[in-house]
Structure 1
Amino acid sequence: MSAYHAAARSLPPIGCNGRGAQASSLSQPVSLTEAPIEAQFRLVREAGAFDYFDRLPGAAELPAYQRCMAETGLPVRTASWFYALGRDDALLPQKLKLAAEVGAKTHNIMLYWHDSEGRPISNAQVVDFYLRAWDLGLAHGVEPALEYHVNMWSEDPRRIAPVAEAVRKRGIPFWLTLDYSHAIFKIGNAQELAICGLLGDAGAVLDPFAPGNFVDQWLQMGIVRWLQVRSVAPNGPRNIWSVQDPTNAVAAVPEHSIFPYRAGQPGRGILYPFTEPAPGQWHSPWQAGATAMTREVVRKVLTHHHTHADSPLRWITTEMINLPDYAHNARFSLIEQNAAIARFVRESWEALGRPPG
C-alpha cells in the first residue's frame, strides 16, 4: 500500500480553530476580544483532545506562533482567510506564503459571493481564483481548499459540483472544505432557504439523512479534503445574545452580503451547543436530538474515509467559534464544546473498527 493510501486508512489529525480557544463561563461570556495567542495554544493543548492548532497568523504574529508551537508541541497544519475579488487579489500570495511559513499544508479559502463592487461573482471567476491559488500555493507546498460557507460563492451549494468539475477538467485536483453546519442550520428556515435558492422540495437535498444529499454527492466526487465540525440545529435559534453592530466589523460578515444584516438584529443561528449547557449558559432550550444531523455528517465522512483507500480527507477541525452568528456572548466553555466534538470524532472513528483491506 502506498504512503498516500496508508494515510487514508487512519483518522486524520484533529485541530481546533483558534477562535474557539476561550475558557468562557457564566461570569466570563464568549467574547470578540480574544485571549493572547499564547493562551489560545495553551487552552488547546490542555484540552487534551487535539493534534494541532488551526489558524493563520498575521505577519507580526509569526514569531509568537513559532514559539507557541515549540512550547506546546502543537503544530499549525491548516489556516484560513477571507477574500473579495477585486479587493484582495494581491493578498492571496501573501497569505499563502504566510501559511507556508507557519507550517500549514492546506489554506482554506473563503471567497465572498460578491466582488469589491457588490457584483455577484460567476463560477468561472471562482475557478480562475482557485487555479491561481493552486499555482501560487504549489510554490510554497500549500494547497488551496474552497469552503462551503454562508456569505461565500458557495452559499448556494449547487454551485460546488460544477466548479469542482471545471477545475478538474484543467487537470488540477479540486479540494473542498466541508463545513456542513452552513447547510443544516438552514433546514426548515424559509428565509435562509430562499437566500440559497432551495425553497420547497429543493431544500430536501440539504438533509444528510435524505437520499442524494450534498454530503454524499461530494464524498462520491472525492473532493472533501478537510472536514470542519460545528454543531448546529436545523432551523436553529438565532443568537439573540449578540446583536448586529454595523460600526464593528467582524470576520465572515462582508461589506456586500447576501443576508440582510441589520443593526440591532440577532446573529444568524449557525451554532448550537454540542453538549447540554448548564442553566443560564445558553439563550434557548436545548435538545440532544437537535445535534443528530451534525453527528450524521461526521459519521458519513468518517465511514467514507474508513472504507475508501483513496479517500482524500486529510484534516479535521472543530469550529465552535466566538463570532456573532455563532457563540458570541454564550456562557458555556467554548474550548470544552470544541473538545467534546473532538472526542466524539475519535469515538466515532474507533466504533468503525479496523479499516478493511
Structure 2
Amino acid sequence: MPSPKAAALPPIGCNGRGAQASSPAAPVSLVEPSIEEQFRLVSEAGVFDSFDRLPMPDQVDTYLACIERWKLPVGTASWFYALGRDEPLLSQKLQLAAKVGATLHNIMVHWHDAKGRPIDDEEVVDFYLRAYDLGMPLGVEPTLELHVNMWSEDPRRVAPVAEAVRRRGVPFNFTLDYSHVIFKMGNEEELRICGLTDDVASGKVELDPRRPGSLVDQWLDMGIVRWLQVRSVAPNGPRNRWSVLDPTQPVAAVPTHSIFEYRAGEPGRGILYPFEKPMPGEWHSSWDDSALDCTRAVVRKVLAHHARRADSRLAAITTEMINLPDYAHNARFSLIGQNAAIARHVRQVWAEESATAPAR
C-alpha cells in the first residue's frame, strides 16, 4: 500500500489588474500596463506560480509568448456575465481560457439581467450547468464567485445554488473571495442592500470568519471551495475617497444595473485595505494592522482545511489587490508589492499549517 502523501499548496497566481508598479509619483491607474509588462512584474515579484487573467481575442498570441518568456502559466481566468445579453459570450470566453491553458474559468453573474430584473437562483444554476457542459470538454472548469453586484452579494444564496447544482449530479465549484463579505461587517448600508441586517443581528448568519459557524466554515464543510482569492479588506473599512465615481463612465465589475447605488461624486466602496502598512501619503486613511485579522483568519481556515482534509477541492489561489475604483484606484503604494506581500503571507501560513498536518 502506498504511503500517505502530504497535501500540496495549490499554485498562487496574481490577478493582472494588480500588476502595477505604482508609487506616489505614479498612482494606481485604470490605464493599465501592457500585458507584457504585467507578466514581467508578476514574474519578477518572485512569489507567484501563475498569472491570472483572461485574454481578449487579439491577445492570445501575446499571452502565449509571455507564458513562454516568463515561464509563468495562466491557470485561471475570469469574466462578467449579464443574463439576457451575455449568453453568447460564454462559449467564446471558455475557448479563450483554454487557448492560454487556464483550467478554471471564474464566472461572475450579475445580480440583475440585462433589463434590470433581479435573477433567481434557478437561472444561476442553469447558467452554471451550461458553462459546465461547454467548458469540461475544453478542460476548463467553471467556478462561480462570491462578489458584490453579483447574484452572490447576498451570500445566503450560495448554499442553495450549490445544492441545486449537485442534485443534478454535477460538482459545484465556488470561488471564495471573502473580502466581499468582510467589508460589510459593521456597515449598516452594506448589510441592508443585500438583506442581511436582521439575520446578522439575530445570529442566524455569522459573517465573522474568526468565529465558529461562519459562512467560511459552512462552505468548507460543503466541500465546494475550488479557488481562493485573497484581497485584504477591513470590516466596515474606509471607502476609497481617492476615486470619485462617474456613473457615465463604464468600469469593470460595475454593471449597468447595480444592487448598490453608485452616485456621481461619491467615493468607491471600501473593498480593499492595504496588507502592508503604507508609507505616509500612500493611502487615504489611517491604517491599523488588527483590521487585517479577518483576512488572515480566512487564509488560515482555508489552508488548514486543505492541509488536513483529503477531500479538499482547493485547486487555485490568487491575490486580488486590483486597480478599480472600489478597490485601489489612485492609491500611491506599490500595487504589485501589496499582492506579493499577500502571496508571501499565504506561503508562510501554509508552511505552518502543513508542518502540523498529518499525511493524507
Q: Report SS of the residue matched to 1:283.
A: coil
Q: Which of 63, 66, 78 is the equivalent residue of 2:64?
A: 66
Deviation at 1:210, TM superposition (A): 2.2
Residue 325, structure 1, aligned to residue 326, structure 2: yes
Q: Report SS of the residue matched to 2:171.
A: coil
Distance in 1, Cα, partners of 2:32 & 2:20 = 8
Q: Report SS of the residue matched to 2:74.
A: coil
Within 5 Å, which residues of 2 pair with 1:1-357? 9-200=7-198, 202=200, 205-352=206-353, 353=355, 355-357=357-359
Distance in 1, Cα, partners of 2:199 & 2:329 = 33
Deviation at 1:198, TM superposition (A): 1.2
Task: Specify the code of the residue in structure 1 equivalent to 2:181.
Answer: A
Distance in 2, Cα, partners of 1:23 & 1:202 = 39
Task: Specify the code of the residue in structure 2 equivalent to 1:91.
Answer: L
- Of 47-56 and 192-201, more deviation after overlay is shown by 192-201
Distance in 1, Cα, partners of 2:98 & 2:207 = 35
Question: TM-score, with normalisation over the residues of structure 1?
Answer: 0.97
C-alpha distance after superposition, 1:91-116 (max 9, x if no partner): 00000011000100000000000000
Task: Specify the code of the residue in structure 1 equivalent to 2:358.
Answer: P
Deviation at 1:310, TM superposition (A): 1.4
Deviation at 1:211, TM superposition (A): 2.5
Structure 1 segments of 4 or more deviating over 2 A?
none
- Of 191-200 and 173-182, more deviation after overlay is shown by 191-200
1:165–1:201 distance in 2 versus 1, CA, 3 Å: closer
Which structure 1 segments of 5+ residues have no match?
none
Task: Specify the code of the residue in structure 1 equivalent to 2:299.
Answer: V
Distance in 1, Cα, partners of 2:298 & 2:211 = 12
Identity %: 69
Task: Specify the code of the residue in structure 2 equivalent to 1:56.
Answer: L
Question: TM-score, with normalisation over the residues of structure 2?
Answer: 0.97
Deviation at 1:200, TM superposition (A): 4.4
Q: Report SS of the residue matched to 2:94.
A: helix
Distance in 2, Cα, partners of 1:177 & 1:236 = 22
Task: Specify the code of the residue in structure 1 equivalent to 2:284.
Answer: H
Task: Specify the code of the residue in structure 2 equivalent to 1:109.
Answer: I
Which structure 2 segments of 5+ residues have no match?
none
Number of matched pairs: 355
C-alpha distance after superposition, 1:154-184 (max 9, x if no partner): 0000000000000001110000000000000
Q: Quote the RMSD (CA, aligned, Å).
A: 1.4
Task: Specify the code of the residue in structure 1 equivalent to 2:185.
Answer: I
Deviation at 1:209, TM superposition (A): 1.4
Deviation at 1:336, TM superposition (A): 0.4
Q: Report SS of the residue matched to 1:43.
A: helix
C-alpha distance after superposition, 1:140-162 (max 9, x if no partner): 11000000000000000000000
